[in-house]
Structure 1
Amino acid sequence: MSANHSTMTTNKSNAKAEKVRNDNLESTKLKDRHLASYGSGSYLASDVTVLLDIVDKEAVADVPVTQKEALIQSGQRHYSDMLTLEHAPSAMHEQLYTQALAQGTQRTATDIANLAYALHQNFHNTVDSEGPLVLVSLVRAGLPVGVLLQRALADTDSLYSLPSVHYGISIIRDRGLDPLALEILLEAYPNSPIVFVDGWTGKGAIYQELAHSLETFSKPTHPNFTNIFHQGADAIPLLTLADPAGVAWLAASSDDWLIPSGLLNSTVSGLISRSLYTAPQEGLHRSVFYDNLIEVDHSLAFIDHIDTARQQLTTAPSQLPTFTQPRYDTKTIIDTLAARYQITNRNRIKPTIAEATRAILRREPERVLLASSDHPDTALLRHLCTEYHIDITILGAKILPYQAVTLIKQRTTHT
């Protein structure tokens, strides 16, 4: 080969490489602009990007709880096709949240520090600013936990500083994780591991939904296998603050305790509504932004309060265990309750203090089961039961580690 031909070949190769670099750069810019086009609810833009199509609440039918329950249980409508618009919490509800926050600040701050430390231990050798850890909060109970973790990992004065980014995406029971939102993240961060974040586990239903949604990536030959299955071929990387169900890869504890953010809905979750389903070919899952509740929003105040407490901790973070397989620690309890109350549709059983409380506020409860009649963590639940004339049954140790379970009222001939 002549020197001139060699030079021409080299020039062509360089030009081709430069074109690829430019195309990649332009592609990255487009992705950045695409991601930047989404909002963060009432959180700071540096806290989270929520990959949801925010729609006007005036365009969403406000379905009364009783009507919604009948439609869901009769199979006429899926719960993610309807919304009961939220109103401002009552004065008593606000007071009990304030009490829960005062009571739970140190525990929440400590749990976040321990979780951040565990993430640092697992990923500090494999992530960097070019390929950061991607925290994906499951909208919406995961959002406050994800924001707190993002702030903790960004704290360069801590023992657990780690390059990370944080997004929120929708997951809907029976319909799965929003595939379009996940695709956007995988394209934007092709070299990053993903960790999914939720507030707590109840029966493990969302874990199962997540695992089902991720099956398509579970073959080692899939190009995104290592993005998701970085803990092993069977390990779903789900992180939670509390994991009574025994399904999370990483959790601060397995206790059912009064998580402050579990007591409010949108006003501690960035003013974002529960997500509404959209078919993948039509776009991202949808949500409403409750701009009418701005004056009673605690979202940023909650984050600032817990994050300040975390920074003031004087004890070193603890080592947390991780699990590659679900344990389903409370499956027997759910089976027993289903048999006792003749329930075949497990969706009518809402365990954990947080889920039991939300069920009273969003659904139509039949009764509430408590482990104790005077446990301080169930004060709001007991208040709501009195206010809405809901029967309470004390079952003691039979439901532990759950402190509370709400049973949804049967509205059809099918249980």
Structure 2
Amino acid sequence: MTNARLQTPDSYGSGSYLASDVTVLLDIIDKQKVADVPVSQKEALIQSGQRHYSDMLTIEQAPTTMHERLYQQALEQGTTRTATDIAHLAYTLHQTFQKTVDNEQPLVLVSLVRAGLPIGVLLQRALADTNTSYSLPSVHYGVSIIRDRGLDSVALQMVLNAHPNSPIVFVDGWTGKGAIYQELARSLDVFSDRHHPNFANIFHQGEDVIPLLTLADPAGVAWLSASSEDWLIPSGLLNSTVSGLISRSLYSTPQAGLHRSVFYDNLVEVDHSLAFIDRIDAVRQTLTVPLQSLPRFKHPRYQTADLIHQIASDYDIVNRNRIKPTIAEATRAILRRDPERILLATADHPDTVLLRHLCSERDINISILGDKILPYQAITLIKQRS
């Protein structure tokens, strides 16, 4: 890492989170300097191959009143489950690393920006809680990963330089098709030689084991996850306003430095990032359920690969990036992309209320397919652009 503009990790910010929650390794740029590309134009540029999605941004607007209300409903019904899942994940990390980490060599959580950020912050708070049986020395960073372009190698090297003897666990919110897992695996391949000086930082669970942790893992690719269900994770319903007011990341070549992002200071009044963390963390502290050591998997199972293949065949989809499975991804795709159709397992599942409302609002076709798309509750198909 020779870029003179880069500093030590502790000189970077934390978005709208507390400095003790996370250090976000992104080059924050002024949103006035970013072209605001309308969704329909962005979709045409992406599908034609003229531009990569990480070269453009549609500037995020404040959620509507209906969107806010549905987020609050999701938070009401999902708070205890999220808190319980975080406790089980923290307990499992404690069981795994208690003999190998300490204050000098803490466990390093690297959240994948953006969906991993809220989950990573919740885990960092849980591991820092000395009133539990699962406290563990840990530090937490947010690092960009971009489909087709990989994990920000400059940011990862900064983490490795700062913590040369610590194991790293990568954190994401959920898995959809497993595409980000594959991107992460490709990015980490350079460390897979046992003679690489950072082999043990990455492959501490064994050769070829990518240490990816998620809250939900329908795709069956994570090393550690609280469940394999597609459920309404509250943080999956919002974008920057539950992710530290940070935009989706924009690509920079390693020679140019860190991946870039916009900080949405205009959305401060509608930001839920800290309130979400505080609420889940407070409930976690009151839990009385027995702690569970969750299963850890050496290799991905790709349990939905055949289903994705079948969906692509049924709807004549060549580019599988047009298929956005899970409630969270399906919802985000409606808000950020140009959808053609929504596939639902059931017509009235409480976890898809926002999806159905958005479809009604924008006159998007819904197909009810029953068990055919399980374990996913929802899949958005992006419109084909010639």
Query: TM-score normalised to the size of structure 1?
Result: 0.91
Alignment map for 1:79-228 (pairs within 5 Å) = 79-228=53-202
For 1:158 and 1:137, how far apart are their aligned partners in 2? 23
- AA matched with 2:271: D
For 1:380 and 1:298, how far apart are their aligned partners in 2? 18
Report the RMSD for the aligned CA atoms in angstroms.
Answer: 1.0
Q: Quote the residue 1:372 is aligned against.
A: 346
Pick the aligned partner of 1:263 from 214, 220, 237. 237
Q: Quote the residue 1:402 is aligned against.
A: 376
For 1:69 and 1:139, how far apart are their aligned partners in 2? 21
- Does residue 65 of the first structure (1) align with residue 9 of the second (2)? no
Q: Quote the residue 1:42 is aligned against.
A: 16
Q: Quote the residue 2:385 is aligned against.
A: 411
Pick the aligned partner of 2:310 from 325, 330, 336. 336
Q: Quote the residue 2:227 is aligned against.
A: 253
- Does residue 294 of the first structure (1) align with residue 278 of the second (2)? no
Identity, in percent, stands at 77
Q: Quote the residue 2:359 is aligned against.
A: 385
Q: Quote the residue 1:229 is aligned against.
A: 203
For 2:8 and 2:316, how far apart are their aligned partners in 1? 49
- AA matched with 2:218: P
- AA matched with 2:317: I
For 2:10 and 2:375, how far apart are their aligned partners in 1? 42
- AA matched with 2:36: D
For 2:147 and 2:118, how far apart are their aligned partners in 1? 20
For 1:406 and 1:399, how far apart are their aligned partners in 2? 12
Q: Quote the residue 2:48 is aligned against.
A: 74
Deviations 1:51-79 (A, max 9, x none): 00000000000000000000000000000
Query: TM-score normalised to the size of structure 2?
Result: 0.98
Contact 2:95 2:293 in 1 (8 A): no
- AA matched with 1:317: L
For 2:137 and 2:7, how far apart are their aligned partners in 1? 21
How far did residue 316 of structure 1 move? 2.1
- AA matched with 1:405: I
For 2:8 and 2:203, how far apart are their aligned partners in 1? 26
The size of the alignment, in residue pairs, is: 382
| DSSP-derived class of the 1:326 partner | coil
How far did residue 211 of structure 1 move? 0.1
Considering only CA atoms, is the larger Rg found in Structure 1 or Structure 2? Answer: 1
Q: Which structure's residues are more often helix, by fraction?
A: 1
| DSSP-derived class of the 1:93 partner | helix
How far did residue 42 of structure 1 move? 0.2
Deviations 1:260-296 (A, max 9, x none): 0000000000000000000000110000000000000
Structure 1 runs of 4+ off > 4 angstroms? none
- AA matched with 2:354: L
For 1:80 and 1:169, how far apart are their aligned partners in 2? 14
How far did residue 179 of structure 1 move? 0.3
Deviations 1:298-339 (A, max 9, x none): 000000000000000011211200001000000011000000
- AA matched with 2:188: L
- AA matched with 2:31: K
- Does residue 54 of the first structure (1) align with residue 28 of the second (2)? yes
- Does residue 238 of the first structure (1) align with residue 212 of the second (2)? yes
How far did residue 33 of structure 1 move? 6.6
- AA matched with 1:382: R
For 1:239 and 1:67, how far apart are their aligned partners in 2? 35
| DSSP-derived class of the 2:361 partner | helix
| DSSP-derived class of the 1:44 partner | coil
| DSSP-derived class of the 2:8 partner | helix
| DSSP-derived class of the 2:215 partner | strand
| DSSP-derived class of the 1:308 partner | helix
For 2:280 and 2:89, how far apart are their aligned partners in 1? 14
| DSSP-derived class of the 1:180 partner | helix
For 1:201 and 1:159, how far apart are their aligned partners in 2? 28
| DSSP-derived class of the 1:406 partner | strand
Alignment map for 1:355-370 (pairs within 5 Å) = 355-370=329-344
| DSSP-derived class of the 1:165 partner | strand
For 2:154 and 2:228, how far apart are their aligned partners in 1? 32
Q: Quote the residue 2:278 is aligned against.
A: 304
